[in-house]
């Protein structure tokens, strides 16, 4: 015991509480005892209740089982004991399932424990359907009932009660009913007939699968439709009448063969039986229809009907017979073919139709039929009632009874006599066609016309069977004249001439005139022939021709190309067939002749083209050679120029040598200029741009100019030139310069191609219509074949290869072009090589009105004016050399090398004359001219275009730009110097 | 899984303790914000320990676990019995000055406040009727008999427990620390038997289901790292203690000198439906147990107590009195975490075995 006073005090106080606590405890215990007494009383009451309850439960018809909250059995009443086979004392406190085995009757699986479900959920539950109780001894009893929770006064679940009773008898009855319904349902759904139930408004209520199959609608789709909607429009009225009668009680049911419209639009036939169902009160309720699809039957009926019609109206004989060969049916077709009526044949053996020599066929046919075999298209001979034999095609099929046994035969006999005949004709025609085809191949394979004609004649004669034949045909010769020729077959020309085939007789002419065929079995008796005069008769004495056939040969363009004629001393040799054959041959002949002619034409065209190509090749070759010559001719002067230049520049050169050098350079430059002039001229002629400056021209002046030009060449070879001109002056319209160029050319050529010291004669004559100038030499001459080519371009090179005298060989071509521009001709003649040549120019005389030419101003020896000159040219050498020349003539010259400088210089110094190149960089000559003329201060300047472009269009363009004059390069310096020396035209 | 639960109290934040001291009254409304903050933080820290069951740390119990329900009653005076502690200090109870006896506040109000901050199960500790029975004065009261007092006391206790359950308490723990004190002051055992009778009278008014969620905590009284009855051997206490009609017993053990002896007595006294939550954290020991130490204490207990009747707890609340600063909050939560983790470690071992 502690001595601590605080603890002592605490203990004292605490111990004082003990009594109070004990009192409280005693009170509590008393209260507990009282409560216990109450509880015991209540327990006793409950026990009594329980006993009453148990008695009640024992006496009711249902089985009752109760469990505690754990699902352990607390009570079974007598019924439950009886049904489960367990006594309460055996299973009390044991889990429910120890005594209560339930299964699902259908699945045979253990059913859910209803007590467990109640205890879990606290809810009342009914037993599942189809529950069966398996008793202790294995007896199965169908049961039905429910389970419910047992709750304490506080509402807590303290157990469960299950009540159930035997429903085996009822379940059995239900099963039987269900089975019955299922059978009915099966019958309904699987019936071979369609069964449908419809309301009184016609809507389908129910239908089996067959109805769905017949009408093509699903059951659901049918429920949305009435049977009248699906009835064929043609059958609606009858259906409505029948339904009305049904509803009115006139009839109990009706049967109709009617059509329905399927969902797919097809119409089907049905046999529909409809019965009205009434309620117990007698009130109409539903319509039950049985629908049978009889479409096949209907179709079979229609088909049978059609077959009957076919048999009835068939052109073929349709006969049936027994296997003994006894005829059983006989259609009208048989009567038509064989001539017997049905009465005459039915019951008789079929052998009555068979000729004696074909009787052996029947046993074989019958044997095959008995074997079930069918005989197709058996062609044979049968006999008509009148004894005539006919070709028939038999198709015999076995007839079988329902068991499949062969009981007879159906025979279809077709009269094929006409067909056989037609086949023969076709065969014959095929032979002809084949023959013609072979002939055609033979003929058309030949391209030589004469060969073709002979083959045609021979073939046609053979095919026609003629003794002889001839092919008269027309040809056009090279001169376009028509000729009539002929080929022969079977007779020589002499014999044929004796026969005589006058073309213009009535019997012969038509084939040439209107393309008709003439065939005569005996021409001596033919009226057309009889009309002939004796001179035109085919023969005298024994006629060589009695049978006659004439067939025209007509081209694709319908032109008559000729005629095939055939004759034979016998009468009636030529038939329709032989005529057709010959017509066929004639057609083939026309094609072959066309081909042969086309082939010949093609051959000619090829030959012509080859000639042209050879000419082209030659021209091409001459052009190549010309170009080589051109290069050579242009290069030739360069050597002396270069050498002369070196000499003149040499300090050691004497004045004489320098002068000589200048002459060489001048001469060679002039020679090159002439070459280039010729080239330009020939180009212009070729392109048709050479322009003549036609004026009234004095012939003598032209000749003088020409002689003057060619004189150096003539004299260099010491030729003798004689000139003979008309005494009177001859004036005519011509370009004097060009004409002089032509004559000079002829004279120079004569000089070139004539050995030194030769003779050249120029003779001119003038007539009213023309002026003719001839240049004749005694030079190398020309061969006859060279003459036509002498005017061809570049011809010189080839013909004078061995002795070329220089030049480009274009002189004669150029001369011919110039003369022809004047409307004249240039002709070459020669007696042959070494025999000289003559060239004759003819110019038609025409008169043009012209003013007499103004006399040229005399050119002073010294310049009258010192000019201020501007030279603008980007070719520095050209500009500088020209400037030097002009300065040497006393003018003041400024040189620039482009358009900008030119404009600046003009602005600065205002020259009197400006020589402006057209093709300059930056600003070209045209632009310079336009700008210069754009300034009024520059109007007095003489603007001269200097350019390589010398066409009229070029000049026109230069003048339009503001130039006063147009000089074509190279500018002849003397020409320019003379211009500057003279008084300038106003700018 | 071995269940583990706290006893209840956790040291209040110093700011709150200082404020209470400064105002001299823990019920002053000015303290409300501090109480709210303390509870919210305590719950959050408690959750962080991983403890599957938590408390509000008894932050609002003023002035302590014993008197919180009667603090401020007008029919009391502060000059009640003194309870001396081994450390030398004394706690004094209020004295009832007149009837009828009614609680001024029930513990369910603390529970509700904690529930606002956590979804974890919350345990609520209440004071035993036997502890409050000591309020009745030695000399009695003229118009209020001791019997009337006892009846009122039982009713109030039952009311408090029911209110806690109605508000959603995970469990209710009856603090019965005076049990050991009763043996100390009355070694005959008569006082302890009286206390147990009184408490059983109250428990008899509750249902079996309610009693299955009620536990009793006893310890030598922990306050300022001191006890009032640690010298009382468990052998004198435990056999009687297990006569209490409750399911769970929360027993201080970690701080016991003879743990094994105590465990043997527990094992001998424990009835089949009862569970012993043994203390594995010495709450008045300033040293932090490691989870391994805790684990070993659990394994030790498991050697004596069937696993399905074993749970772990702290020896006592960490601060049954509101002004107790002897243990820091940090240490208290660290010890709680060690209890949780050590129990898990032991459970893993025992689960494998």
CB neighbours (10 Å) of residue A81?
Answer: 20
Q: Does A124 touch chain B (CB under 8 A)?
A: no
Average pLDDT over residues A257-267: 92
Interval A342-364: pLDDT, tens: 999 999 999 999 999 988 888 88
**A chain contacts of residue B195, beta-carbon cutoff 8 Å:** 14
CB neighbours (10 Å) of residue A262?
Answer: 16
Is residue B316 scored above 50 in pLDDT? yes
- A6–B82: do the CB atoms touch at under 8 Å? yes
Q: Quickly state the pLDDT bin for A529 (edges 50, 70, 90).
A: low
Residue of B147, B181, B191 with shortest CB distance to A15: B191
Instruction: Look at residue A476 in the predicted model and tell me its pLDDT.
Output: 66
The two tokens of residue A275 are: 């019965």
Q: How far is A49 from chain B (nearest CA, A)?
A: 28
Residue of A9, A21, A28 with shortest CB distance to B138: A9
Is residue A798 scored above 80 in pLDDT? no
Q: Quickly state the pLDDT bin for A987 (edges 50, 70, 90).
A: very low
What ipTM did this prediction achieve? 0.88
- State how far Cα A814 lies from the chain centre: 57
Between A496 and A275, the higher pLDDT residue = A275
Is residue A645 scored above 80 in pLDDT? yes
- B90–A25: do the CB atoms touch at under 8 Å? no
Instruction: Look at residue B228 in the predicted model and tell me its pLDDT.
Output: 72
Question: Tokens 């105590």 sit at which residue?
Answer: B262
The torsion angle over the Cα atoms of residues A652, A657, A663 and A666, rounded to 10 degrees, is: -10
Is residue A261 scored above 50 in pLDDT? yes
Residue of A2, A12, A25 with shortest CB distance to B197: A25
Is residue A802 scored above 70 in pLDDT? no
Is residue A506 scored above 70 in pLDDT? no
Residue of B145, B197, B204 with shortest CB distance to A21: B197
Q: Quickly state the pLDDT bin for A499 (edges 50, 70, 90).
A: low
Between A553 and B315, the higher pLDDT residue = B315
Q: Quickly state the pLDDT bin for A509 (edges 50, 70, 90).
A: low
The Cα–Cα gap between A602 and A600 comes to 5
What one-character-per-residue DSSP string does A173-224 give? HHHHHHHHHHHHHHHHHH-SSEEEEEETTSBEEEE-HHHHHHH---HHHHHT
Least confident of A258-262, A531-535, B39-43: A531-535
Task: List, in order, residues 6 or more apart from B147 with CB less than 8 Å away.
Answer: A20, A23, A24
CB neighbours (10 Å) of residue A938?
Answer: 20
- Report the SS3 class of residue A274: strand
Average pLDDT over residues B295-316: 96
The Cα–Cα gap between A750 and A760 comes to 7
Q: Looking at chain A, which residue has its C-alpha nearest residue B179? A: A14
Interval A52-73: pLDDT, tens: 877 777 778 888 899 999 999 9
**A chain contacts of residue B190, beta-carbon cutoff 8 Å:** 15, 18
Per-chain mean pLDDT for chain A: 83
- B134–A25: do the CB atoms touch at under 8 Å? no
Instruction: Look at residue A461 in the predicted model and tell me its pLDDT.
Output: 86
Least confident of A258-262, A352-356, A639-643, B21-25: A639-643
**CA atoms within 13 Å, Cβ hemisphere of B172:** 30
Name the most confidently modeled range: A226-235, A395-404, A667-676.
A226-235
**CA–CA distances in Å: residue B300 to residues A139, A343, B5, B237, B280:** 62, 133, 18, 21, 10
What percent of chain B clears pLDDT 90, i.e. is strictly above it? Answer: 77
The torsion angle over the Cα atoms of residues A49, A55, A61 and A64, rounded to 10 degrees, is: 60
**A chain contacts of residue B194, beta-carbon cutoff 8 Å:** 14-15, 17-18, 21-22
**B chain contacts of residue A14, beta-carbon cutoff 8 Å:** 133-134, 182, 185-186, 191, 194-195
- A17–B186: do the CB atoms touch at under 8 Å? no
Q: Quickly state the pLDDT bin for A501 (edges 50, 70, 90).
A: low
What percent of chain A clears pLDDT 90, i.e. is strictly above it? Answer: 24
The Cα–Cα gap between B17 and B63 comes to 11
Average pLDDT over residues A552-572: 83
The Cα–Cα gap between A412 and A393 comes to 8
Average pLDDT over residues B2-19: 95
Name the most confidently modeled range: A181-185, A205-209, A599-603, B142-146.
B142-146
Least confident of A30-34, A398-402, A778-782: A398-402
The two tokens of residue A970 are: 């190279």
Of the candidates A514, A515, A503, A432, the one whose C-alpha atom is nearest the C-alpha of residue A470 is A503
The torsion angle over the Cα atoms of residues A721, A724, A729 and A733, rounded to 10 degrees, is: -70
Instruction: Look at residue B204 in the predicted model and tell me its pLDDT.
Output: 93
Of the candidates B291, B330, B327, B352, the one whose C-alpha atom is nearest the C-alpha of residue B4 is B291
Question: Tokens 């603390």 sit at which residue?
Answer: B110
Q: What DSSP character marks residue A326?
A: B
Interval A365-423: pLDDT, tens: 888 888 888 888 888 999 999 998 898 998 988 888 878 888 888 888 888 888 888 88
Most B-contacting residue of A3, A8, A12, A20 (CB-CB within 10 A), to test interface:
A20
Average pLDDT over residues A559-586: 84
What percent of chain A clears pLDDT 70, i.e. is strictly above it? Answer: 90
**CA–CA distances in Å: residue A236 to residues A164, A194, A204, A856:** 59, 19, 16, 127
Average pLDDT over residues A946-960: 81
CB neighbour class for B226 (10 Å; exposed up to 12, middle 13-18, buried from 19)? middle
Q: Quickly state the pLDDT bin for A241 (edges 50, 70, 90).
A: very high
Between B64 and A644, the higher pLDDT residue = B64
Most A-contacting residue of B90, B96, B194, B203 (CB-CB within 10 A), to test interface:
B194
Average pLDDT over residues B194-221: 93
- A13–B138: do the CB atoms touch at under 8 Å? yes
Most B-contacting residue of A10, A31, A33 (CB-CB within 10 A), to test interface:
A10
Q: Quickly state the pLDDT bin for A843 (edges 50, 70, 90).
A: very high
CB neighbours (10 Å) of residue A751?
Answer: 25
Q: Quickly state the pLDDT bin for A855 (edges 50, 70, 90).
A: very low
Instruction: Look at residue A535 in the predicted model and tell me its pLDDT.
Output: 43
The two tokens of residue B167 are: 């508000």
The Cα–Cα gap between B267 and A474 comes to 154
Instruction: Look at residue A251 in the predicted model and tell me its pLDDT.
Output: 92
Bridge partners of A142, per DSSP, are A132
Q: Quickly state the pLDDT bin for B347 (edges 50, 70, 90).
A: very high
SS3 string of B2-37? CCEECCCCCCCCHHHHHHHHHHCCCCCHHHHHHHHH
Most A-contacting residue of B81, B94, B200 (CB-CB within 10 A), to test interface:
B81
The Cα–Cα gap between A507 and A399 comes to 67
């Amino acid at each position: 015991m502690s001595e601590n006073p605080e603890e002592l005090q605490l203990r004292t106080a605490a111990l004082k509480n003990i009594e109070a606590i004990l009192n409280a405890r005693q009170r509590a215990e008393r209260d507990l005892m009282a409560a216990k007494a109450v509880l015991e009383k209540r327990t006793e009451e409950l026990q009594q209740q329980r006993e009453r309850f148990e008695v009640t439960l024992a006496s009711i018809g249902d089985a009752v089982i109760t469990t505690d909250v754990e699902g352990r059995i607390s009570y079974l009443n007598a019924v439950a004991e009886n049904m489960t086979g367990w006594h309460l004392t055996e299973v009390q406190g044991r889990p429910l399932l120890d005594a209560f085995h339930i299964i699902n009757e259908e699945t045979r699986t253990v059913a859910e424990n209803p007590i467990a479900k109640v205890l879990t959920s606290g809810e009342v539950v009914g037993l599942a359907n189809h529950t069966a109780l398996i008793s202790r001894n294995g007896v199965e009893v169908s049961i039905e009932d429910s389970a419910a929770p047992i709750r304490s006064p506080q509402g807590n679940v303290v157990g469960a009660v299950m009540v159930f009773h035997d429903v085996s008898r009822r379940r059995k009855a239900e099963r039987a009913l269900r089975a019955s319904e299922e059978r009915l349902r099966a019958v309904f759904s699987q019936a071979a007939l369609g069964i449908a139930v419809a309301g009184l408004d016609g809507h389908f209520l129910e239908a089996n699968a067959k109805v769905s199959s017949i009408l093509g609608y699903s059951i659901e789709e049918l429920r949305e439709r009435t049977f009248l909607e699906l009835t064929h429009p043609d059958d609606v009225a009858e259906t409505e009448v029948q339904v009305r009668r049904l509803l009115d009680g006139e009839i109990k049911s009706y049967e109709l063969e009617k059509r329905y419209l399927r969902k797919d639009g097809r119409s089907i036939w049905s046999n529909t039986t409809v019965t009205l169902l009434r309620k117990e009160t007698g009130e109409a309720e539903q319509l039950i229809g049985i629908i049978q699809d009889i479409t096949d039957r209907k179709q079979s009926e229609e088909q049978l009907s059609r077959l009957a019609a076919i048999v009835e109206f068939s052109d073929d004989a349709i006969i049936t017979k027994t296997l003994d060969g006894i005829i059983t049916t006989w259609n009208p077709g048989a009567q038509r073919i064989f001539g017997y009526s049905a009465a005459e044949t039915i019951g008789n053996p079929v052998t009555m139709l068979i000729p004696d020599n074909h009787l052996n066929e029947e046993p074989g046919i019958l044997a095959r039929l008995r074997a079930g075999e069918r005989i197709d298209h058996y062609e044979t001979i049968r006999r008509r009632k009148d004894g005539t034999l006919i070709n028939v095609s038999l198709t015999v099929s076995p007839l079988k009874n329902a068991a499949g046994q062969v009981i007879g035969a159906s025979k279809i006999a077709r009269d094929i006599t006409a067909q056989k005949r037609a086949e023969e004709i076709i065969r014959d025609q095929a032979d002809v066609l084949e023959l013609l085809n072979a002939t055609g191949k033979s003929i058309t394979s030949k391209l030589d016309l004469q060969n073709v004609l002979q083959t045609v004649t021979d073939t046609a004669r053979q095919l026609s069977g003629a003794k002889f034949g001839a092919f008269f045909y027309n040809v056009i010769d090279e001169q376009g004249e028509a000729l009539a020729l002929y080929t022969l077959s079977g007779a020589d020309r002499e014999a044929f001439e004796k026969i005589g085939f006058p073309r213009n007789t009535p019997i012969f002419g038509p084939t040439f005139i209107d393309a008709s065929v003439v065939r005569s079995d005996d021409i001596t008796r033919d009226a057309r022939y009889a009309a002939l005069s004796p001179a035109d008769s085919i023969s005298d004495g024994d006629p060589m021709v009695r049978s006659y056939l004439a067939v025209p040969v007509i081209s694709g363009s319908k032109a008559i190309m000729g005629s095939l004629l055939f004759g034979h001393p016998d009468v009636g040799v030529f038939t329709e067939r032989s005529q057709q054959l010959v017509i066929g041959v004639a057609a083939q002949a026309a094609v072959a002749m066309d081909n042969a002619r086309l082939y010949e034409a093609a051959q000619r065209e090829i030959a012509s083209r080859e000639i042209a190509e050879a000419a082209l090749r030659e021209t091409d070759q001459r052009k190549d050679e010309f170009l080589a010559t051109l290069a050579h001719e242009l290069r030739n002067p360069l050597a002396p120029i270069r050498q002369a230049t070196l000499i003149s520049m040499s300090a050691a050169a004497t004045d004489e040598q320098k002068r000589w050098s200048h002459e060489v350079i001048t001469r060679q430059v002039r020679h090159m200029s002439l070459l280039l002039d010729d080239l330009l001229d020939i180009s212009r002629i070729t392109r048709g741009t050479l322009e003549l400056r036609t004026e009234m021209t004095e012939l003598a002046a032209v000749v003088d100019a020409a002689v003057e030009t060619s004189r150096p060449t003539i004299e260099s070879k010491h030729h003798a030139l004689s000139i003979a001109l008309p005494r009177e002056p001859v004036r005519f319209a011509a370009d004097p310069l060009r004409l002089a160029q032509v004559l000079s050319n002829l004279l120079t050529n004569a000089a070139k191609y004539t050995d030194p010291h030769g003779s050249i004669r120029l003779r001119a004559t003038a007539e009213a219509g023309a002026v003719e100038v001839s240049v004749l030499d005694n030079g190398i001459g020309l061969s006859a074949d060279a003459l036509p080519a002498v005017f061809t371009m570049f011809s010189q090179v080839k013909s004078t290869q061995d002795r070329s005298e220089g030049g480009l060989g274009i002189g004669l071509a150029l001369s011919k072009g110039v003369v022809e521009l004047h409307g004249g001709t240039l002709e070459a003649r020669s007696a042959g090589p070494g025999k000289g040549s003559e060239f004759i120019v003819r110019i038609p005389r025409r008169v043009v009105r012209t003013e007499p030419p103004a006399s040229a101003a005399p050119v002073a020896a010294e310049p009258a004016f010192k000019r201020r000159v501007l030279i603008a040219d980007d070719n520095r050498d050209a500009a500088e050399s020209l400037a030097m020349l002009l300065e040497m003539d006393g003018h003041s010259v400024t040189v620039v090398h482009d358009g900008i400088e030119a404009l600046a210089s003009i602005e600065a110094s205002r020259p009197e004359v400006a020589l402006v190149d057209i093709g300059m960089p930056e600003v070209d000559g045209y632009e310079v001219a336009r700008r210069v003329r754009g300034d009024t201060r520059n109007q007095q300047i003489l603007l001269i275009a200097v350019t390589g472009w010398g066409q009229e269009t070029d000049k026109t363009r230069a003048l339009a730009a503001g130039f006063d004059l147009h000089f074509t390069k190279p500018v002849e310096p003397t020409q320019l110097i003379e211009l500057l020396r003279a008084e300038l035209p106003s700018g | 899984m071995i269940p583990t639960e706290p006893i209840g109290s956790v040291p209040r934040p110093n700011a709150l303790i200082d404020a209470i001291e400064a105002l001299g009254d823990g019920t002053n409304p000015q303290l409300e914000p501090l109480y709210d903050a303390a509870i919210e933080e305590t719950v959050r820290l408690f959750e962080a320990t991983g403890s599957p069951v938590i408390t509000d740390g008894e932050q609002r119990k003023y002035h302590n676990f014993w008197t919180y329900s009667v603090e401020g009653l007008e029919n009391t005076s502060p000059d009640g019995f003194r309870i001396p502690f081994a450390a030398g200090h004394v706690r004094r109870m209020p004295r009832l000055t007149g009837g009828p006896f009614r609680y001024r506040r029930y513990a369910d109000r603390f529970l509700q406040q904690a529930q606002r901050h956590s979804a974890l199960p919350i345990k609520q500790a209440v004071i035993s009727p036997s502890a409050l029975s000591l309020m009745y004065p030695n000399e009695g009261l003229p118009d209020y008999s001791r019997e009337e007092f006892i009846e009122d006391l039982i009713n109030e206790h039952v009311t408090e427990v029911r209110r806690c359950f109605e508000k959603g308490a995970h469990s209710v723990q009856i603090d019965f620390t005076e049990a050991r004190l009763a043996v100390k002051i009355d070694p005959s055992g008569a006082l302890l038997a009286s206390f147990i009778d009184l408490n059983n009278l109250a428990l008899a008014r509750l249902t079996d289901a309610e009693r299955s969620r009620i536990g009793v905590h006893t310890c030598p009284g922990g306050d300022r790292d001191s006890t009032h009855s640690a010298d009382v051997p468990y052998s004198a206490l435990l056999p009687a203690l297990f006569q209490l009609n409750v399911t769970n017993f929360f027993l201080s053990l970690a701080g016991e000198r003879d743990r094994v002896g105590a465990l043997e007595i527990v094992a001998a006294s424990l009835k089949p439906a009862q569970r012993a939550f043994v203390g594995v954290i010495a709450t008045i020991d300033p040293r932090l147990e490691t989870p391994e130490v805790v684990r070993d204490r659990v394994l030790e207990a498991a050697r004596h107590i069937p696993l399905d009747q074993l749970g772990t707890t702290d020896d006592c609340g960490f601060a049954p009195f509101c002004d107790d600063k002897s243990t820091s909050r940090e240490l208290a939560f660290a010890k709680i975490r060690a209890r949780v983790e050590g129990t898990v470690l032991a459970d893993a071992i025992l689960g494998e075995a």
